[in-house]
Chains A and B, each alone.
Chain A
Amino acid sequence: MSEKKKTIDNVLTLIFSLLSLLYLFPIALVVINSFKKKAYISKRPFSIPSGKSFVGFENYLNGIEKTGFFSAFGWTLFITIFSVAAIILCTSMCAWYISRVKNTFTNMLYYLCLFSMIVPFQMVMFPLSKIANMLGLSTPWGLIVVYLGFGAGLSVFMFTGFVKSIPLEIEEAAMIDGCTPIHTFFDVVLPIMKPTCVTVAILQTMWIWNDYLLPYLTLNMKKYKTISIAVQYLRGGYGSIDMGAMMGVLVLAIIPIVIFYLACQKYIIEGVVAGAVKG
Chain B
Amino acid sequence: MDKAIKRYFPVFVLPTLAAFTMGFIAPFLVGVYLSFCKFTTINDAKFVGVVNYTKVFTDATFVHALWYTALFTIVSVVLINFFAFVAAMLLTRKIKGTNLFRTVFFMPNLIGGIILGYVWNLLLNGILLQFNKTLTYSSVYGFWGLVILMCWQQIGYMMIIYIAGIQNIPGDLVEAAKIDGANSWDILKNVTIPMVMPSITICTFLTLTNGFKLYDQNLALTNGEPSNMSEMLALNITNTFYGRAGWEGVGQAKAVIFFILVAVIALAQNRFTRSKEVQQ
Instruction: For residue A45, give the distance in angstroms from its CB to the closest CB of chain B.
Output: 3
16 contacts between A and B (CB under 8 A): A19-B101, A20-B104, A20-B105, A23-B152, A24-B104, A26-B152, A29-B123, A94-B13, A97-B8, A97-B9, A122-B241, A124-B28, A126-B34, A130-B30, A150-B23, A228-B112
Q: Is the CB of B16 within 8 A of A29?
A: no
- B102 interface residue, CB < 8 Å from A? yes
Q: A126-B31, A175-B1 are in contact. Are A23 and B105 (CB under 8 A)?
A: yes
CA distance A185 to B119 in the complex (A): 45
B-facing residues in A207-253 (Cβ within 8 Å): 209-213, 227-228, 231-232, 235, 243, 246-247, 250, 253
Q: Is the CB of B198 within 8 A of A277?
A: yes
A-facing residues in B89-111 (Cβ within 8 Å): 90-91, 93, 95-97, 100-111
Q: Is the CB of B23 within 8 A of A128?
A: yes
Q: A149-B20, A212-B114, A254-B111 are in contact. Are A120 and B255 (CB under 8 A)?
A: yes
Residues from chain B with a CB closer than 8 A to the CB of A102 are: 2
CA distance A211 to B115 in the complex (A): 11
Instruction: For residue A95, give the distance in angstroms from its CB to the closest CB of chain B.
Output: 9
Instruction: For residue A81, give the distance in angstroms from its CB to the closest CB of chain B.
Output: 16
CA distance A190 to B146 in the complex (A): 42
- B125 interface residue, CB < 8 Å from A? yes
Taking each of A29, A120, A132, A261, which has the highest tally of chain B beta carbons within 10 Å of its own beta carbon?
A120
Residues from chain B with a CB closer than 8 A to the CB of A126 are: 31, 34, 42, 241, 248, 251-252
CA distance A211 to B5 in the complex (A): 36
A132-B22, A212-B113, A246-B118 given; name 7 further pairs at CB < 8 Å.
Answer: A42-B129, A118-B209, A121-B234, A123-B258, A148-B16, A212-B114, A276-B199
CA distance A111 to B84 in the complex (A): 32
CA distance A269 to B4 in the complex (A): 38
Q: Is the CB of A112 within 8 A of B113?
A: no
CA distance A121 to B8 in the complex (A): 32
- A49 interface residue, CB < 8 Å from B? no
Residues from chain B with a CB closer than 8 A to the CB of A253 are: 111-112, 115
- B17 interface residue, CB < 8 Å from A? yes
Taking each of B100, B109, B112, B123, which has the highest tally of chain A beta carbons within 10 Å of its own beta carbon?
B112
Q: Is the CB of A156 within 8 A of B255?
A: no
Q: Is the CB of A232 within 8 A of B219?
A: yes
Chain B residue nearest in CB terms to A41: B122
Q: Which residues of B contact A (CB under 8 A)?
A: 1-2, 4-9, 11-13, 15-17, 19-28, 30-31, 34, 42, 90-91, 93, 95-97, 100-115, 118-120, 122-123, 125-126, 129, 152, 157, 160-161, 164, 198-199, 202-203, 205-206, 209, 212-213, 215-216, 219-220, 234, 237-238, 241, 248, 251-252, 254-256, 258-259, 262-263, 266-267
Instruction: For residue B232, give the distance in angstroms from its CB to the closest CB of chain A.
Output: 11
Residues from chain B with a CB closer than 8 A to the CB of A41 are: 122
Contact of B20 among A45, A152, A235 (CB under 8 A): A152
Q: A118-B266, A149-B24 are in contact. Are A182 and B97 (CB under 8 A)?
A: no
Residues from chain B with a CB closer than 8 A to the CB of A211 are: 112
Residues from chain B with a CB closer than 8 A to the CB of A196 are: none
Instruction: For residue A9, give the distance in angstroms from its CB to the closest CB of chain B.
Output: 4
CA distance A231 to B118 in the complex (A): 9
Instruction: For residue B184, give the distance in angstroms from its CB to the closest CB of chain A.
Output: 12
Taking each of B11, B22, B108, B220, which has the highest tally of chain A beta carbons within 10 Å of its own beta carbon?
B22
